[in-house]
Structure 1
């Protein structure tokens, strides 16, 4: 039986904007208050997804969240009609309105943690939506994320969906952005590497002092239990607090893995050698740890270019390639490193650059835009086929974007009542295109 690693990219929502909501995310903060282009952002994401499908990869899409989120605004006391709620929030609490208009669900690396059937005791693919409790604008996502995942992976024989973890800082869970699976083959049991920023119960454990450590050890351990993973299948590793304080808000900003390759910066982790030894022992096979030294690429250059927020994929011919943002190409140190990397005899043989600047300016690169799901051919066949990228879907989604999305959106525009109508109309049509059913509250 054939096995694949599918990538499900988040569709950029109609309210894509730069509100600088994510403290600790340097790019997000630096570009706050810029005018965004939702139409360009959505098309850039679609172009990347279609390009990977054209390379022979299994590629799907995940629907965005409903924004503005009027239900959250009502929960916190704003009353009246939709227009009145929007107006009151914009006048009395504009930052809360910004949070409820966030389009951050486009970064589906934070949507959930996924464990393939080869690793789980019940032989099903397990999904746990991330609770994202560290940031208000993301903490309102998990319920709808769960609805969208259930509508996309909609076969109980093959897929097991869990509720998100308790909504408390002790279980701060940021999803697959802090989770990497290493294996020899996608269909063979592998090692699930859970990277955390701090422990909620061990005050002796080091933690950052400037920016928050969003993922807890306790959350990672809980997900491993829910997903029925054996101890021999798991490695728990702490991210270096010093790099978190330099803007590395998730592990996928400082390392990325694929099959038997872990591509990482030398400052990425604590207890690096001991944990790598544990990975080698549990894998019981060759693992390629590709280290980028600080002398080659500084943390600042890595964060600015998102060198590690790239995708490492295995092409149908067996070669590995890096899917990188054009920002890597434009950074002299990073471009020089990647040019040399493909000549060094590692499994990575190619680098392909894509323009995702609308996402990059808001703090997310190619790896943020996708959720990885390793599946066999029976499981791929059990996925909602209307969500899998092909020429017809690509054309239809581009037409949908042209029809419904604005090409400019400023912070002031978030108070426009027309944006509610535009967003709901677009999402209602999208659920029909993707055959998702009623996944949004306004549809129920």
Structure 2
């Protein structure tokens, strides 16, 4: 039974821990940062510590902060499924020699970007008054297609209480139901405990007659389909009056905006977006206004202020937009926003000084993530939870000073300072990762979630 009231519902940001095999392999087609940094030497330790420091600073500022563990990497089981055989050492060596791109894919630490973990509907919007979860199938790229099974186990381990939480199967991993999770989904509302409207953004339509005026990108693939978004909405019991389906602008995708959260971010009644975010900007806003109980506050950034190139390079719109008790909002931006004059000027003169609730900007260094194409908003999965639902969480996953200290010490014990793509074939790295992850599940008290723990 749901016991949520408007006053006791909080948004919890569950950030993904950067994994021990964090590397720059340039795997993500359409992700400009990922492709341009492929082959560089990474620092898994620095990346993990940067992510933890961001979480800690937001916790210290009063925001509810959670933690999600990384995936088991390298995924040697995936290599065995693809025909490699022998000992783990032999499988890694053979893959490195015969199919280095496959080895890089099964070592990807992309699960740090938990905005792609799945789509969440809070209890106040669902017909059975439970929080609903659907892991994203991430079928558009092989290195991410490997994630959903473990993601599902992690979510079910943490959100275990069936009185409060409902879990749905991953959508069929076919192009027609290509699903990238909350990176293409935003819930808009008044207070968190009030009913909300769910904005699903898609890049293409797979079946039936294409909607009037729609077109697809020409340079890079559209990762989210309308059919996937509609299926998730059906799974969660969302009605027509609770949903808006909008097409992402194909020109934005071709400019490197592979997910909607690279060009728009919303929270509460505020939608901060670039002029090129939606193919039908006016129609999208009109439908949101018609369905929201609280007046929509659109904050539009025109292309004259921030070019598409600057938007993609700075990840201004991949910032976290956080609600404060006094009705104001805080924008958490990556340090790259300060490096682009037009972007920083827009933040100061247009956003902070504008007629909107955004009153503060926090700058965070997440360079290790940014070089692979993930900013602050990529690193978190938002879950609105009542007091009873927060109490029903399993494990030690809500950040505290003690947990932060334990996780920092864990990273310092197990992570490498540097990792080049050629190091991924090192069997010792695989062993180090398993030891680290086994210790992590004990530290977080979530039980066995990894293939090597399940036998």
Say yes or no: TM over 0.5: yes
Q: Is the 8 A contact 1:56 1:316 kept in 2?
A: no
Query: Alpha-carbon deviation of 1:203?
Result: 6.0
CA distance in 2, matches of 1:187, 1:354: 29
Match 1:381 to one of 368, 388, 391:
391
Q: Which whole-Å deviations, capped at 9, do the CAs of 1:412-432 have from their partners, x for residues lacking one?
A: 000000011100000000000
Aligned pair in 2 of structure 1 residues 89, 276: CA closer, same or farther (>3 Å)? Answer: same
Q: Which whole-Å deviations, capped at 9, do the CAs of 1:125-165 have from their partners, x for residues lacking one?
A: 00100000000000000000001111121211111111110
Normalised by the size of structure 2, how large is the TM-score? 0.96
CA distance in 1, matches of 2:391, 2:336: 36
CA distance in 1, matches of 2:75, 2:234: 32
Equivalent position of 1:442 in the other structure: 452
CA distance in 2, matches of 1:231, 1:202: 19
CA distance in 1, matches of 2:116, 2:354: 32
CA distance in 1, matches of 2:450, 2:377: 26
Match 2:279 to one of 270, 273, 290:
270
Q: Which whole-Å deviations, capped at 9, do the CAs of 1:51-83 have from their partners, x for residues lacking one?
A: 111111111000000000001000000001111
Question: Helix, strand or coil: the match of 1:192?
Answer: strand
Equivalent position of 1:322 in the other structure: 331
Question: Helix, strand or coil: the match of 2:200?
Answer: strand
Equivalent position of 2:29 in the other structure: 23
Query: Alpha-carbon deviation of 1:202?
Result: 3.9
Is the counterpart of residue 407 in structure 1 residue 413 in structure 2? Answer: no
CA distance in 1, matches of 2:124, 2:382: 15
CA distance in 2, matches of 1:161, 1:364: 26
Q: Where does the alignment leave 5 or more consecutive residues of structure 2 unmatched?
A: none
Question: Helix, strand or coil: the match of 2:300?
Answer: strand
Question: Helix, strand or coil: the match of 2:383?
Answer: strand
Equivalent position of 2:183 in the other structure: 177
| More displaced stretch, 95-104 vs 201-210 | 201-210
Question: Helix, strand or coil: the match of 1:43?
Answer: helix
Q: Where does the alignment leave 5 or more consecutive residues of structure 1 unmatched?
A: none
Is the counterpart of residue 119 in structure 1 residue 125 in structure 2? Answer: yes
Is the counterpart of residue 286 in structure 1 residue 295 in structure 2? Answer: yes
Is the counterpart of residue 260 in structure 1 residue 266 in structure 2? Answer: no
CA distance in 1, matches of 2:418, 2:443: 25
Match 1:104 to one of 86, 110, 122:
110
Match 2:248 to one of 239, 244, 256:
239
Q: Which whole-Å deviations, capped at 9, do the CAs of 1:316-372 have from their partners, x for residues lacking one?
A: 443200000010112111100101111112111100000000000010000000000
Equivalent position of 2:366 in the other structure: 356
Is the counterpart of residue 193 in structure 1 residue 199 in structure 2? Answer: yes
Is the counterpart of residue 228 in structure 1 residue 237 in structure 2? Answer: yes
Q: Which whole-Å deviations, capped at 9, do the CAs of 1:395-439 have from their partners, x for residues lacking one?
A: 000000000000000000000000111000000000000011110
Equivalent position of 1:153 in the other structure: 159
Q: For this pair of structures, how many residues does the alignment match?
A: 444
Match 2:11 to one of 5, 9, 31:
5
Query: Alpha-carbon deviation of 1:385?
Result: 4.8
Kindly report the root-mean-square deviation, in angstroms, between the aligned alpha carbons of the 2 structures: 0.9
| More displaced stretch, 22-31 vs 271-280 | 271-280
Q: Which whole-Å deviations, capped at 9, do the CAs of 1:288-328 have from their partners, x for residues lacking one?
A: 11000000000100000000000000124432000000101
Is the counterpart of residue 390 in structure 1 residue 400 in structure 2? Answer: yes
CA distance in 1, matches of 2:325, 2:363: 19
Question: Helix, strand or coil: the match of 1:7?
Answer: strand
| More displaced stretch, 195-204 vs 401-410 | 195-204
CA distance in 2, matches of 1:311, 1:100: 29
CA distance in 2, matches of 1:27, 1:286: 36
Question: Helix, strand or coil: the match of 1:430?
Answer: helix
Q: Is the 8 A contact 1:55 1:315 kept in 2?
A: no
Q: Is the 8 A contact 2:189 2:294 kept in 1?
A: no
CA distance in 2, matches of 1:107, 1:245: 21
Normalised by the size of structure 1, how large is the TM-score? 0.99
CA distance in 1, matches of 2:449, 2:438: 9
Question: Helix, strand or coil: the match of 1:408?
Answer: coil
Q: Is the 8 A contact 1:179 1:193 kept in 2?
A: yes
Q: Is the 8 A contact 2:180 2:224 kept in 1?
A: yes
